[in-house]
Chains A and B, each alone.
Chain A
């Protein structure tokens, strides 16, 4: 059943800082995806889309065309893009449509996010007293992980160096300048042990995907990329998440563990079958921990993998081949779809300067965010 869903068109608005609105960037991505698929907006029978801070996605029918199609707005925090994709996948599998679009875009002001405690079920005191910062969570999660599994600051920096290098080869990335390990380590300490260049920044961008049922896909493209699975999970008891005023000493898995395992199971594949991976790199430590949480290595093995370059473009398992969130920034609504866009681009062999040199057949994507949600996909030719 899973081989029935194909990505037939991909579109992106470059990530970074722009004069246009987030919505305009989303509409641009939608037009690009239609052009890539060789179809018209009027061919699209269902759409799912969302942003966190740039408006209701369905508003863009005024610029794409008032065709009367069902367009559902999706708002699911950092998994908004992933949730749109899963909704599209389910709509196709349910037979509700033959051609569906998933759109994600966003535009955030400069600087760290400033969420409202009440929207996360927390008392006002939590924000008042300076605990309501995602950056603190990331610092404390990797701090303990480094202590437990022997990850070095050099390895943290190498994640950023790798992702900025990949970004420098990607014309749609925001940060195009490669950086040295020393520059990363010596940049401003924002939340110990994480420095400024180990963190991604809130930014702007848009991505759209045109998906179709398998038999329909072949009419549109010679290079369909199949979505083998798409899974979303919320947090189980004992996970360690952003904005937790308490944790249980009875520790449990992160939602990424469950989402990845379910995505692999649904696709009938395992981590060893995957050729490239896009893993949420909100900061360097996140990419390292997510490598283990998604099953690509055991806790602690990342130290050798990063030091020996295994996850670089020319390595055994290239990770964040487009530069990840570190080089692309984090427009919340768009990030999950950016990972799928990049996977499809690589699988088609169309990634240009940042195309991985080895022959690839499969790809994996993983997004993670507040308040403890993860979405994973497995893709293949």
Chain B
């Protein structure tokens, strides 16, 4: 069986049945950042707390990556021949924070600002040992 490894640790809880993104909450300013950071960009306070972010939110904006990004920095497995456009968006998680994410759909007719979205973990590439590298994405909530 393939082992799944996160693209980087401490980006999201993993392994988990209901994974969550991990951010930092700064109580003095009420600011939440993602991923975790040492200092608050509003007050420069270093008194941050690790916080698990809501799994659901609404689509704040979106686009579709229509061409194969240059490598580096991109580390996906695609070639110009196999590349398929992918969605990218910002998802507002309540009044806490808006996070940037890949989207599971790249259909412009499906994506609407304000639609409900949910966190999922998706395979992204394989590492040298044959493990599946996974990252986070947001998917439209099925009605």
Q: A115-B73, A130-B74 are in contact. Are A125 and B61 (CB under 8 A)?
A: no
Shortest distance from the beta carbon of B18 to any chain A beta carbon, whole Å: 21
- Report chain A residues within 8 Å CB of B35: 123, 245
Q: A129-B135, A133-B69 are in contact. Are A248 and B97 (CB under 8 A)?
A: yes
Shortest distance from the beta carbon of B83 to any chain A beta carbon, whole Å: 10
Which partner residue on chain B sits nearest A139 by CB separation?
Answer: B63
Shortest distance from the beta carbon of B112 to any chain A beta carbon, whole Å: 9
Which partner residue on chain B sits nearest A117 by CB separation?
Answer: B73
Mark contacts of A113-144 with chain B using CB atoms, 8 A cut-off: 1 yes-contact digit, 0 otherwise. 01111000001111111111101100111011
Report if B96 contacts A (CB, 8 A). yes
Kindly state the separation between the CA atoms of A281 and B142 in the bound complex, as whole angstroms: 38
Contact between chains at B64 and A128 (CB < 8 Å): no
Report if B119 contacts A (CB, 8 A). no
A-facing residues in B41-86 (Cβ within 8 Å) = 41-42, 60-67, 69-70, 72-76, 86
- Report chain B residues within 8 Å CB of A21: none
Q: A124-B8, A244-B100 are in contact. Are A249 and B67 (CB under 8 A)?
A: no
Query: Which one, B8, B41, B88, B96, contacts A237 given CB within 8 A?
Result: B41
Contact between chains at B97 and A189 (CB < 8 Å): no
Chain A residues touching B, range: 35 or more
- Report chain A residues within 8 Å CB of B11: 123, 125
Which partner residue on chain A sits nearest B36 by CB separation?
Answer: A123
Report if B31 contacts A (CB, 8 A). yes
Query: Which one, A130, A144, A246, contacts B65 given CB within 8 A?
Result: A130
Q: A124-B8, A246-B23 are in contact. Are A131 and B102 (CB under 8 A)?
A: yes
Query: Which one, B63, B75, B113, contacts A191 given CB within 8 A?
Result: B63
Kindly state the separation between the CA atoms of A61 and B137 in the bound complex, as whole angstroms: 51
Report if A269 contacts B (CB, 8 A). no
Report if B108 contacts A (CB, 8 A). yes
Contact between chains at B135 and A125 (CB < 8 Å): yes
- Report chain B residues within 8 Å CB of A114: 69-70, 72-73
Query: Which one, B75, B88, B95, contacts A136 given CB within 8 A?
Result: B88
Kindly state the separation between the CA atoms of A125 and B42 in the bound complex, as whole angstroms: 24
Shortest distance from the beta carbon of A53 to any chain B beta carbon, whole Å: 14
Contact between chains at A247 and B66 (CB < 8 Å): no
- Report chain B residues within 8 Å CB of A140: 61-63, 88-90
Report if A112 contacts B (CB, 8 A). yes
Report if A59 contacts B (CB, 8 A). no
Report if A96 contacts B (CB, 8 A). no
- Report chain B residues within 8 Å CB of A246: 23, 32-34, 97-100
- Report chain A residues within 8 Å CB of B100: 131, 244-247
Contact between chains at B63 and A136 (CB < 8 Å): yes
- Report chain A residues within 8 Å CB of B69: 112, 114, 130, 132-133
For the A-B complex with A114-B70, A128-B124, A130-B102 known, give 17 more contacts whose Cβ atoms are closer than 8 Å. A114-B72, A127-B75, A128-B73, A132-B73, A136-B65, A143-B113, A144-B113, A147-B61, A190-B67, A192-B64, A194-B63, A237-B42, A245-B34, A245-B100, A246-B100, A247-B100, A248-B97
